Structures are given as structure tokens and as C-alpha cells.
Structure 1
Amino acid sequence: MTASRPRSAERRADILRAAFEVIAERGYRGASLAAVAERAGLTQQGLLHHFPSKSALLVAVLEERDRWDTGGSGATGRAAWRLDLLATLVDYNAMRPGVVQTFSALLGESVTDEHPARDFSPRRYARVREDMAGLLRAEFGERLPGGLTPERAAPLLTAVLDGLQYQWLLDPEAVDMAAAFRDFLGLLGMENGK
């Protein structure tokens, strides 16, 4: 039984990688379970054994992306985030445009009422804002240099991170995502963005 668990986890990881690729190429609406199964080297029935619906697969893809970004701690970011580590994450994202594109497309699509990630995205953002407030508090205390509380500044930090990703995806020659984020850290009063 223990031998099948690692194989099952490995198969799920294969499916998630395939789903990322297919969604990046076709968008969520254009991505079919059959295409994901084929890319993962499975039958559609085999895929459904691991993910019972396209919605379940989508949420798993989004959760996996967050685990990648937080070193396994998920969207909660319970890893010991610091502002300088966020800059490192921005650098890392600049090296994987396909993952950033997939996440950004799914996030954009999720604002519609019928989208399967409609419930996931607000919960995720609530956790991210909480985590950003925590890291801002750890860096600056109860007030940032401009006078905002960490809770008031957290949505702004989150918006900068996601907004830079969209701008970079649309025009990578005009927007240096990593440099722009370090400029933002400079605005917060961190010397040289560190």
C-alpha cells in the first residue's frame, strides 16, 4: 500500500504539470480533460480517478502554483516571508512565464460568477493579504513609513505583485518586473530594494 501512495502522488504531480501546460496554451475554457489526460499519458478515466471533475483539477492547479511559490506552504505563505524574499519570488517568476501566464489567466477568468475558481480566489486573496500584513508588520511595525497600517498596505503590496505580472506578460520588453518590484521596495524605504 505504501508503494502505491508515492506512485499516486507522482501521477497527480504529472497531471498537474500537464494541466498547467494545456491551460497555458488554451486557457481554462479551452482546456479539456481529454487534452490534459493525453498530455499526462493517461486515459480520461485515469485522470478522473485522481481529479473527479475539471473544477477539482483547476483548484488543484491553483493550489499547486501557490505551493511552488511558497516553498510548499501553500497560499497561506506560512513560510517566513520577508519583503526581500518576495523580490526573489519575483525574480523566479520572471524565469517561468508559462506558469505566470497560466495563473494570471485563471485569476482573470475567476472574476466571473460561473467560474469554478470563483470561490477559491477570494479565499486565497484573503490569506495573501493577511500574510502580506504580517510581513509588513515584521518589517515596519504597526506603521509603514507613509503612515499606513500593515492591513491597509497589504492590498497595495498584493496589487503591485499581481499588476506587475500582468504588465510584464503583456509587454516584457517594456516592463522589467523584477526591477520594478525593487523600485517599489525602495518607495517603502528599503535601501536598494533589500
Structure 2
Amino acid sequence: MAARMTPEAGIKAGKPRGPYRKTREVRRRILDAALEVFAESGYRSGSLREIASRVEMSEAGLLHHFPSKISLLEAVLEHRDERASRIVDHEAHDGMQMLRGLLDLARLNTKEPGVVELYCVLAAEATAPDHPAHDFFVARYERLRDQIGRALERVRADGYLRDGVDPARAAARMIAIWDGLQVQWLFDRSSIDMADELVDYLSRILTRPVEP
């Protein structure tokens, strides 16, 4: 995750400069390389040495920015979710707006297969209770069910949710469908359009189109 600007760093508002900017750029390069390696090999098999090699630095140099493999994994996952949060407004008063944001995220994911691969590989590995990302994914799924469920509650309050649809159960199903679509898409990217399939699912639980 990119370092935060602080008054102590002597960085004024605006573009970062000097050592701070260089450090931020190095951290970003490390996170991008880690995403690639973890996506290709999984967290357990992906090595710090390989990540360091891809950014042309020593393993000791990498550990200067991220003191352990676990801290690097946490930063990669946070980096991914931070980018997603800039696309999806989970607290939008308009529930339909939040759902449209999710569709935009699904479309973006098709342009970043490494991100999708990382998520799928780590989510599968992290089902093991001793995996470093286990708690992260448990909390993440709980948070997503809550966020999508609350959006559907707002949709229902506006009169756009079909009768008999339970927001909490519909949220869990939407996540399950999305995860399954991602796996199928990774095997054959020409066989399926993830956003279109999610639109189809939403059309079955909403009384109006989610998109104009």
C-alpha cells in the first residue's frame, strides 16, 4: 500500500517529491510484482526472491519496504481493495448506484487478469485456517455480504426489488455467481462476459434495469 503523506515528512499538498516520491514508486513496483508472482504461483510457492528479481533489487532491499512476506501479502490485498473502493461507492444512498459500481468493477477486472488470478488463487488457498490470508478473506466476504445486502435493502425501500427476494440471501448468491464466473473466465476469456451475466442475475431480482 502506498505510504501516506505526513506533516513530518515535510511534504506539502500537491505532487510528492524527492525521497518520498521515489519510495512510493518503489513500493508500487513491488506490489505490482508481488501481485504477478502470487497470481502465477500462489502465496505459499511465490518467493520473495522472485518478486525482488522482477523489480531488480535484492531480497534485503525488498524487506526494507515490507519486513515480511505476510506484510507484503497484506499490502497487496489492501492495495487491490483500495482500488476497488474508488470504483464502488458502498455507502451510496442510491442502492442502484452501488450495484452499477459493482458492474463497472467486473468490467475493469477483465482488463486486469492478474488481479483476478491472484484473487482466485489466494481465496482457494486461504480456506485453510492457518493461511496468512484466511482471516482477511473471512472478513472480506462478511463485509461484501453486508455491503451488497444493505444496497439491496435500499433498492427494496425504493420499490425496485421483486417480491419475495431476501436482500441478504441475494447478496450471498451474487457473490457466489461472480466468483464462479471469474473462474470460468480465467479458463476461457472468450466464453463469458462477467458483467453481462451479473446484469442477467440482477434482472431476475429487480423490477427495473440496473443500467439505463
Q: TM-score range by the shorter chain?
A: 0.7 to 0.9
Choose which of 162, 167, 172 in structure 2 pairs with 1:150.
167
The CA distance in 2 between the partners of 1:50 and 1:79, in whole Å, is 33
1:33 Cα deviation after fit = 0.5
Bigger CA radius of gyration: 2
1:1-194 to structure 2, matched below 5 A, reads 1-2=9-10, 3-71=18-86, 78=90, 80=92, 82-141=98-157, 144-189=161-206, 191-194=208-211
Q: Residues 34 and 8 of structure 1: is their aligned pair in 2 closer, same or farther, counting only changes over 3 Å?
A: same
The CA distance in 1 between the partners of 2:129 and 2:26, in whole Å, is 31
Q: Which amino acid in structure 1 is aligned with residue 44 of structure 2?
A: R
Aligned residues: 191
1:24 Cα deviation after fit = 2.2
The CA distance in 1 between the partners of 2:207 and 2:110, in whole Å, is 22
1:111 Cα deviation after fit = 0.4
Structure-1-length-normalised TM-score = 0.87
The answer as to whether partners of 2:87 and 2:104 remain within 8 angstroms in 1 is no
Q: Which amino acid in structure 2 is aligned with residue 118 of structure 1?
A: H
The CA distance in 2 between the partners of 1:79 and 1:5, in whole Å, is 32
Identity of aligned residues (%): 39
The CA distance in 1 between the partners of 2:189 and 2:102, in whole Å, is 19
Deviation per CA, 1:62-99, whole angstroms, max 9, x where unpaired? Answer: 111111222188xxx64635112211111111122121
The CA distance in 1 between the partners of 2:109 and 2:37, in whole Å, is 19
The CA distance in 2 between the partners of 1:72 and 1:17, in whole Å, is 19
Moved over 6 A (4+): none
The answer as to whether partners of 2:162 and 2:207 remain within 8 angstroms in 1 is no
Note the residue ranges of structure 1 that are not aligned, 5 or more in a row.
none
The CA distance in 2 between the partners of 1:12 and 1:78, in whole Å, is 27
Q: Which amino acid in structure 1 is aligned with residue 26 of structure 2?
A: R
The CA distance in 2 between the partners of 1:72 and 1:176, in whole Å, is 19
Note the residue ranges of structure 2 that are not aligned, 5 or more in a row.
1-8, 11-17
Q: Which amino acid in structure 2 is aligned with residue 15 of structure 1?
A: I
Aligned CA-pair RMSD: 2.3
The CA distance in 1 between the partners of 2:198 and 2:127, in whole Å, is 25
1:170 Cα deviation after fit = 2.2
